[in-house]
Amino acid sequence: MNERLRRAMLRRGLDIASLADAAEVSTKSVERWLSEKGVPYPNTRYRVAAILQEDESYLWPQAVDKASLTGAELVSTWPRRQDVPRHLWTELLRQAERNIDYLAYAGLFLTEEHPDWIPLLREKAAAGVRVRLLIGDPEGTQLRARDDEKKIGGGVAGRVAAVLSYYQPLAGAVDIRLHDTPLYNSIYRFDDELLVNSHVYGILAAYTPTMHIRRVDGAYFNTYLESFERVWASARPLDGTAG
């Protein structure tokens, strides 16, 4: 069974007959694709991927030339986080249907600069989206180390306290954990999209490079996802949260 194709059809509310009709193929063709007894021709692959709003390399990885995917996951880059289009943060949040993951020391800019951020998180959690937030542990050593970078003015612990005051009302609806790990990147995941904010010693995160990554073959995406999962496993739950 092509499980990726089956799940993509379910997410779009399509059965075999309706996908066949939309793709202008026979139901037997769709059945062959699902049973992995056949792969669509390139033009049909592209059409089906567009209908399902997935990358064809995700639906049929064995049919796509991996060499041609080099760099395809990198959608855009900005020299500073503050150069990321303002609307992109909430646009990606609105589109998320399965997973929302967040790894930062604080990420206070999201709650302070985007009034819709907290209401949208609450709405997504109520709709069944898995929401996991990783925030710096005020009792750990890493926040103190970050504050010791005198050139950036300190105050990280204060921003963490402020951001927790925003997220505390969501406790019980979303999973919140506190981490005490060195943070090389802040990671913001929305299903198969990532915004990755690199950290540079002595410079505030707002002024360091940020990448927009979209999962294609996973070469970039999976590295950051694995990093998130490792931090998640080592973090402690915030009292009263879903996890």
Instruction: Please say if the pLDDT value at position 243 is more than 80.
Output: no
C-beta atoms surrounding 131 within 10 Å? 20
Q: What's the pLDDT at 201?
A: 85
Q: What's the pLDDT at 188?
A: 97
Note the pLDDT tens digit of each residue in 29-40: 999 999 988 888
C-beta atoms surrounding 66 within 10 Å? 12
Note the pLDDT tens digit of each residue in 219-237: 788 899 999 999 999 999 9
Q: Comparing 104-113, 127-136, 157-166, 167-176, which segment has the lowest mean pLDDT?
A: 157-166
Note the pLDDT tens digit of each residue in 19-75: 999 999 999 999 999 998 888 888 888 889 889 988 777 788 777 665 555 566 888
Question: Cα(32)–Cα(17) distance, rounded to whole angstroms?
Answer: 13
Query: Would you report the helix, strand and coil content of the chain in percent, each value rounded to 5?
Result: 50, 20, 35
Mean of the per-residue pLDDT values for the chain? 87
- Say which DSSP state 39 is in: -
The whole-number average pLDDT for the span 94-119 is 94
- Percent of the chain scoring above 70 in pLDDT: 91
